[in-house]
Chains A and B, each alone.
Chain A
Amino acid sequence: MTDTDASLLRIENLAVSFGTRSDRARAVDGIDLDVAPGEIVALVGESGSGKSLTARAVLGLLPDGARAEGSIVLAGTQVVGADERTLNRLRGGVAAMVFQEPQTALNPVQTIGRQLIEALRLRPGFDKATARDRAVELLRTVEIPDPERRLDWYPHQLSGGQKQRVVIALALSGRPRLIIADEPTTALDVTVQAGILDLLRRLRDETGTAILLITHNLGVVADLADRVVVLRDGNVVEEAGVAELFRTPQASYTKELLAAVPRLSTTDSREAGTPAEDRVVDLEGVSVVHPGRGRAPAFTALEGVSLQLRAGEVLGLVGESGSGKTTIGRVALAVTPPTSGTVRLLGRDPRTLRRAELRALRRDLALVPQDPAASLDPLWTIDDCVAEPLVVHGAGDRARIRRRVAELLDAVHLPAAAGRRRPGELSGGQRQRAALARALALSPRLVVADEPTSALDVSVQSRILELFTQLRAEFGFAALFISHDLAVVSEIADRVALLESGRIVETGPARTVFGSPAQDYTRTLVAAVPVPDPAIQRRRHSPSEKETP
């Protein structure tokens, strides 16, 4: 497969740099890469390693201020330094791109039909009518149901998965020989993700299109790729066939990466926390209905949810996007009042509390947010962020607070110097630690962790999860751990609750639920999780076991 003479794309010694001549920063620093026709090459590596820049360089779409050096030969044409005309001939026709965010990759004010037709009409030989026919055909290829009608729909009328399919259809419109897919499924649910990966595989098998796949999800890599290129800090650290890489990783970084990947553990025998008698969270038949606004109808986000959380216990909440996970978290933090049903937090009904009492109750509740970058005030120092709960609740004088902050930072393994920086000056992992420290400042009895690691790449994620487990042992709080990543939950939770459109469909000890799911929905979810093992994935795709999501 690595026949260099037949390569469709050949990148040699590619460097991408930013900034002025005097002050240059190299983000990509000498990458070599080949893609042969019909081959699927995965580009992996941690965040910021230069994956996206490499991909964009191939189509001459580097952001303003970026400069490429080296050589990129795409179907025999040199891309580096090529003018816009040449590039436009290559773009779409020879190589096309599928971007990460289906929500924004389409023009919101044009129908998808129009966008497809416009793309098609850039190609010779298409008039309005033939372009329309071809657009329908393309939508059918990417398995959009009822394509004739959907042509006149606007992007916002489609689901995330459907939008991503339309983006792929756009990419296919020029019958490219190479599709560059930059994290095409990161924003999607596992079930949807499985469908998209299926589609890509089918494309390659049926049309022989080569795919350069960018991802940091090794499960996806194992699922799809023929060959893997591992990047770190703008350099290639390892390149190997997919089976080989997973079996015998050479570079230490690759090993680290593979080790950090959470696996859906179905045979885990971790001891459950020591359940005390008192219930920290007690939801009885809780429903949350968001009233309709304008023409939008009222929306039931939660329906008859009953849930108990004992002190010291970790309950994992899983489910697809929009299933109501965050809403439960907000109810448990007394932020969203239930429309019906009863809520008791630490034995008290927040609705009956006066303002001061509610604030006192909140001392014992804490939130670890999904995206600490957005959840820490960008203008505050980390010290101040961590100290804020202490100050708000008057927990002692200045000196005591300062000491407590230092202890907390130490507990989350942050250097004291980090305290004087602002959130933007920390790495994602460090920020997440700071958010943890802030949550723990008042020694809460309940921590709601809402997707606390979904913004991080795997290696960082595993370190945070480790820390979380360790801190729970130390502080003994109960936790509601929200995630859509079953693997993560299976590693950390004592019990899990599975949500589907606002209802709890299954609860139980983590290993029971994932090991032997009782419900179809759970089974679908579990099956859709790509396992970072090419062998298993290949087996799964054998026609007999193929699942249709």
Chain B
Amino acid sequence: MSELSHQLEPAAPPAPPGPAARDSWRSRHRFAASLTRGAGLAGVVLVAMVCLAGLFAPLLTSWDPVQQVAGSQLLPPGAGHLFGTDQLSRDIAARVFHGARTSLLVAVIAVPAGTVLGILIGLLATTRPLADLITQRVFDVVLAFPALILGVLLALVAGPGTPTVITVIVVTEAPIVGRLIRSQVLRVRELPFVESARVIGAPGGWVLRRHVLPNSLEPVAVHVALAFSGAIFAESAMSFLGIGVRPPAPSLGGVIADSLLYIEIRPWFAVAPLAVVVALSVGFYLIAQALGKAGRD
């Protein structure tokens, strides 16, 4: 059978046990280095800029993101309001910066959580055939549900809000990571150095923890960088559908959703939030790209 998930990750080709394995000693160093130049650096800068904007949102704009000033509905950008005001007379800049904060927060919690969950389940799957059968089928079920429908149903059950968005991302992320890690473990497990650890009498747990897992993480790392942009997208899609971050809390998706109604008469409304979403996604993508390249060379 084909290892679907293995091919899921373009940036991590099945490392031929030869030269690639020989070279992966430098992985950490190389990964770090790949982010200090070229596209990797550009990605880091983009993400960092948005992070800083989110972090220092209160300094960048004096407005509160939920504060409504009666009578200043849909003002164009200008003095007082950097990006203008929205349909509820709130400062768009404040909403975008604080929204970036929310979106990043979602990504920063959901992606690692989904990754860890995926790794745990993926590992579990490799221990017993029965566990494998069950987890694989469960993964199938989750992957077979269109993610959006999963999101809608979850949001309806749990009510919209940040925790729901996080849950949806975790639930859809975990199977992908799980598959990825599973196929990696199955591969790494057969590599000579793992056998050589078994031959010296190392117990199974030791081998798994010390050898198999660390050597299986590389493609996961690359995937995770991509998953961040996926998370940003998921958040905005859910907020767009009204099942995302709970109003009036700002989120990028929410601001975009608000702005689309006015795209023709107040086009500037949409510009700032879109720019931030694109910057984040492009940034994370460039990072993933750089990491992937570093993993390959």
Contacts and interface: CB of A to CB of B under 8 A. Distances in A.
- Are any A and B Cβ atoms less than 8 Å apart in their complex? yes
Interface of A: 333, 335, 358-363, 365-367, 369-371, 373-379, 388-389, 392-393, 422-425, 438, 442
A166 to B, nearest CB: 22
Contact of A422 (B25, B198, B210, B211): B25
B9 to A, nearest CB: 19
A423 B22 contact: yes
29 contacts: A358-B201, A361-B201, A362-B199, A362-B201, A363-B201, A365-B199, A367-B196, A367-B200, A370-B192, A373-B18, A374-B21, A374-B22, A374-B192, A375-B193, A375-B196, A378-B22, A378-B24, A378-B25, A378-B215, A379-B27, A388-B197, A389-B201, A392-B201, A392-B202, A393-B200, A422-B26, A424-B24, A424-B25, A425-B25
Nearest to B16: A104
Top 10 A-B pairs, shortest CB-CB distance: A424-B25, A362-B201, A422-B25, A359-B201, A389-B200, A375-B192, A374-B192, A373-B22, A392-B202, A378-B24
Contacts of A376: 193, 196
A497 to B, nearest CB: 21
Which among A333, A361, A388, A425 has the highest number of chain B CB atoms within 10 Å? A388
A425 B26 CA distance: 9
A423 B22 CA distance: 7
B23 interface: yes
A371 B27 CA distance: 20
A194 B17 CA distance: 29
A377 B215 contact: yes
B219 to A, nearest CB: 15
Contacts of B199: 333, 335, 362, 365-367
A442 B200 CA distance: 9
A375 B21 CA distance: 10
Interface in B176-220: 191-193, 195-203, 206, 210-211, 214-215
Interface of B is mostly: helix
A171 to B, nearest CB: 24
A367 B197 CA distance: 10
A374 B214 contact: no
Contact of A377 (B18, B26, B193): B193
Nearest to B200: A389
B203 A359 contact: yes
B206 A392 contact: yes
Contacts of B211: 377
A389 B202 CA distance: 8
Contacts of A363: 201
A374 B17 CA distance: 7
Given A374-B191, A378-B193, A424 B203 contact: no
Interface residues of B, number: 26
A362 B215 contact: no
A508 to B, nearest CB: 29
A95 B22 CA distance: 33
Contacts of A374: 17-18, 21-22, 191-193
A424 B22 contact: yes
Contact of A388 (B17, B24, B200): B200
B128 to A, nearest CB: 17
Nearest to B206: A392
Interface in B142-188: none
Given A378-B25, A379-B25, 16 more contacts: A335-B198, A335-B199, A359-B203, A362-B200, A367-B200, A373-B18, A374-B17, A374-B18, A377-B211, A377-B214, A378-B27, A378-B215, A379-B214, A393-B200, A423-B25, A424-B26
A422 to B, nearest CB: 4
Contacts of A373: 18, 21-22
Contacts of B22: 373-374, 378, 423-424
A431 to B, nearest CB: 9
Interface string B19-55: 0011111110000000000000000000000000000
Nearest to A444: B200
A360 B206 CA distance: 16
Contacts of A366: 199-200
Contacts of B23: 378, 424
Nearest to A393: B201
A513 B278 CA distance: 73
A452 B200 CA distance: 17
A376 B22 CA distance: 9
Nearest to B217: A379
A438 to B, nearest CB: 8
A457 to B, nearest CB: 16
A366 B21 CA distance: 23
Contacts of B196: 367, 369, 375-376
Nearest to A377: B193
Contacts of A369: 192, 196
Which among B21, B196, B198, B211 has the highest number of chain A CB atoms within 10 Å? B196
Contacts of B191: 374
B170 to A, nearest CB: 28
A374 B19 CA distance: 9
A423 B24 CA distance: 9
A253 to B, nearest CB: 25
Contacts of B197: 377, 388
B152 to A, nearest CB: 42
B61 to A, nearest CB: 43
